[in-house]
Amino acid sequence: MTAPRIHTITLIPGDGIGPEVTNAVLRILEATGVKFNWERFAAGADAFETQGEYIPAELYHSIEKNRVAMKGPVGTPIGGGFKSINVTLRKKFDLFANFRPVKSLPGLETKYPNIDLLIVRENTEGLYVGIEHEVVPGVVEAIKIITEKGSTRIAQFAFEYARKHGRKKIHAIHKANIMKLSDGLFIDCARKVGKDYPEVQYAEHIVDNTCMQLVMNPWQYDTLLLENLYGDIISDLCSAFVGGLGLVPGANLGTDCAIFEAVHGSAPDIAGKDLANPTALLQSAVLMLRHIDEHSAADRVQKAIETVYAEKKTLTRDVGGTAGTSQFADAVIAALPSA
Ligand code: NAI
């Protein structure tokens, strides 16, 4: 018998609800029997308090070495303070594709049944570069960077994924009527890439109209290709179709490195109360299991999640139940099909 593989993975539990949802997910992953060696690090305000750095050098080294990380949310101060840890890590490891599947869970009723949307968000450019300065008192300039290279590679990612996974249609979302050069370049690159994928339909919608179209009829969309800020905003909107931010997973993908994290933030309003829904991070962990070729464990965890939602007995408050974070994790563990 060959010894089981041990996956060494960088772990950032994060802050707010991060440690609670991370604990729940670690317990479920442990129950799958897959062997992990977690290298655990603080980041953000917690790391600064204890180590004097927002992102400790050892954390960078760990991700560089392992090429895979799982991350809980990390809070970012508003209107000042340190730069977003999330944005910094995405940039540092060139995790250019933010991959967010928004899919209804069988058994969880929402106003929008049978949703199956894929959000592909450019993750390193746009207004998120965070270059701002005061031109003169009372006038501030924020720079939006869009490059041909960045726009082409995210479009290639979306079309390649669609080809491999049989997705039918890609909508590039933009505001090129106003930002003619920057958003114009983004869609121009998408159009060019799309020519190599004749089997995938390509269309364009302006971002404000897209918000209305999504709320009226989200089923008209399949894959949304967006630059950074639009992708951020539309992700939260789309999460509402399937039950809210407690549900939707994400992966930050580069050419040789990946960080798996939920779409949601640190939810300070419910932190420390055993109220958070760990499903979003758990479904991110399912994406991670697939990334490290543990497909059977990924299938088993996904099946267990679906069983718990279908039974409706142990759901967290955000989706109409009364269970706590840890009770939900216990129910998923109990529902895990055997290996
Ligand atoms: P948020 O996503 O933390 O919370 C928005 C709403 O959704 C809140 O009502 C919250 O209670 C609820 N919610 C979020 N996740 C939930 C879960 N798992 N279960 C149940 N309810 C959940 O967004 P907010 O409040 O705008 O941001 C809080 C902090 O998180 C900010 O400092 C922000 O910068 C940070 N953030 C971090 C992210 C990351 O680490 N990737 C992503 C987004 C925000």
- Between the CA of 280 and the centroid of ligand 1 the distance, in Å, is 11
Write down which residue in 215, 242, 269 finishes a domain: 242
**Do 84 and 142 belong to one domain?**
no
For residue range 101-123, list pLDDT tens digits in order.
999 998 899 999 999 999 999 99
Q: Is residue 216 part of a domain?
A: yes
For residue range 46-75, list pLDDT tens digits in order.
899 899 999 999 999 999 999 999 999 999
- How would residue 1 be classed by pLDDT, with cut points 50, 70 and 90? low
Write down which residue in 219, 242, 265 finishes a domain: 242
Cβ proximity of 286 and 249 under 8 Å: yes
CATH of the domain at 20: 3.40.718.10
Least confident segment among 72-81, 135-144, 194-203, 310-319: 72-81
pLDDT at 258 over 80: yes
Determine if ligand 1 sits within 6 Å of the CB of residue 245: yes
Q: Is residue 105 part of a domain?
A: no
Write down which residue in 242, 268, 290 finishes a domain: 242
Of all protein residues, the one whose alpha carbon is nearest to atom 37 of ligand 1 is 265
CA 235/CA 324 separation, integer angstroms: 25
- Between the CA of 173 and the centroid of ligand 1 the distance, in Å, is 24
Residue % of the chain over a pLDDT of 70? 100
- 148-166 per-residue burial string, b: 16 or more CB within 10 A, e: under 16: eebbbbbbbbbbebbeeee
Predicted local confidence at residue 107, as pLDDT: 86
Q: Exposure of 271 by Cβ count < 10 A (0-12 exposed, 13-18 middle, 19+ buried)?
A: middle
Apex 41 CA angle, 40 and 44, nearest 5:
150
Predicted local confidence at residue 330, as pLDDT: 98
Range of the domain at 255: 1-100+245-339
**Do 27 and 91 belong to one domain?**
yes
- How far from 214 is each of 62, 113, 120, 203, 311, CA to CA, in Å? 40, 13, 16, 15, 29
Sheet strand arrangement including 201-206: 35-40, 6-12, 68-71, 258-260, 251-253, 97-103, 116-122, 223-226, 169-174, 201-206
Determine if ligand 1 sits within 6 Å of the CB of residue 18: no
The HSE-up count of residue 54 (CA atoms within 13 Å, CB side) is: 15
Cβ proximity of 86 and 232 under 8 Å: no
**Do 130 and 250 belong to one domain?**
no
User: Which strand (E) or helix (H) includes residue 207?
Assistant: helix 207-216
Least confident segment among 55-69, 77-91, 177-191: 77-91
- Between the CA of 75 and the centroid of ligand 1 the distance, in Å, is 8
Cβ proximity of 86 and 128 under 8 Å: no
Of all protein residues, the one whose alpha carbon is nearest to atom 11 of ligand 1 is 267
